[in-house]
Structure 1
């Protein structure tokens, strides 16, 4: 009996291939990354990609999960470990300056940039839900300090959380435009001057 392996898909390191796909999506965004780009970066053929990961959208979802596990935990970690919302927000912003300018990786945050100009409602919804979830976590932590009397009762937790989230998104884009870690750390410190203030009525 013949023991030829002709026709069998070439074996590959799935985790290494996923990491390469994640970096490509991170650098180029979902829409600008083609299947051809992915197979070239991952070092596999299209049949192997589809067999291992499904379609492009499925691969992207898995890449986003991998990104979150590796690089997206600095905000939840700060919220869990710091004694006050103020300390957690300051740490989150400063950690973002480090994460968004990490040497050897694409700049910025995949979750904030990979969906730009996408025609995929599924991808846009996925990334929006993740960003909204983070705003929710920030809101809960701020509200906890309001309830405990640490922050003034007039502080609006959702607005303050949105403020921090907006600064984070701006820092992500600035890093992609060439802002350095030191510059973003200065932005982080400046942003905290608005901490705990109430927005004027409009």
Structure 2
């Protein structure tokens, strides 16, 4: 009969998520993870697998719990509202927690060594999937006449992602929510509109 697990797996995963969010994948050591979770390394291995498996579970939890505004944004009636929902929520999320500002996805992807190449590639794939969803939404907006004929949905999707990711980096560097919202406003001012004249 196996030993009874003597810690709250959900609480440990939440604690690990915060460590990865603050330090990134590469910067989070097992010492950091065991200190934050209160769980010794063998028990962490038993519960989650290796560090990469723990990170992937934390990332999935992050997307479900904190990035839930993205599916909502895709349902907004206009392309500009889609972009606004994403950018304003990005400003909020990236500054909401003073002890781990920025974005887990971005913090996790930067400065990853060759040994962690699979993590970097997984993050790149996740970003590409998000960009593809935006591109499809903007293609629909163009078909529906919400965007001008000259609009390029792929470029607009890349633009929104680039601004959001830049905001995450700046939040990590100490930018306030107000400053990030001002950046979002500037980006939205550049949004293409259909000329009905």
TM-score, normalising length: structure 2? 0.92
CA distance in 2, matches of 1:147, 1:10: 54
Whether the 8 Å contact between 1:24 and 1:38 is mirrored in structure 2 is yes
CA distance in 2, matches of 1:148, 1:155: 13
Query: 2:124 maps to what in 1?
Result: 128
Query: 1:193 maps to what in 2?
Result: 189
Query: 2:80 maps to what in 1?
Result: 86
Q: What is the deviation of 1:189?
A: 0.6
Q: Secondary structure at the match of 2:109?
A: coil
Q: How does 1:1-202 map to 2 (within 5 A)?
A: 8=3, 11-80=6-75, 82-103=76-97, 105-119=99-113, 120-196=116-192
CA distance in 2, matches of 1:184, 1:176: 11
Q: What is the deviation of 1:103?
A: 3.3
- Give 5+ residue unaligned stretches, structure 1: 1-6, 198-202
Larger Rg: 1
Alignment root-mean-square deviation, CA: 1.5
CA distance in 2, matches of 1:186, 1:172: 14
Whether the 8 Å contact between 2:22 and 2:101 is mirrored in structure 1 is yes
Q: What is the deviation of 1:104?
A: 5.0
Measured against aligned partners, the alpha-carbon deviations of 1:43-98 in whole angstroms (never above 9, x if no partner) come to: 01111001100001000000000111111121221112x11111111121111111
CA distance in 2, matches of 1:11, 1:109: 31
Q: Secondary structure at the match of 2:25?
A: coil
Q: Secondary structure at the match of 2:171?
A: helix
TM-score, normalising length: structure 1? 0.89
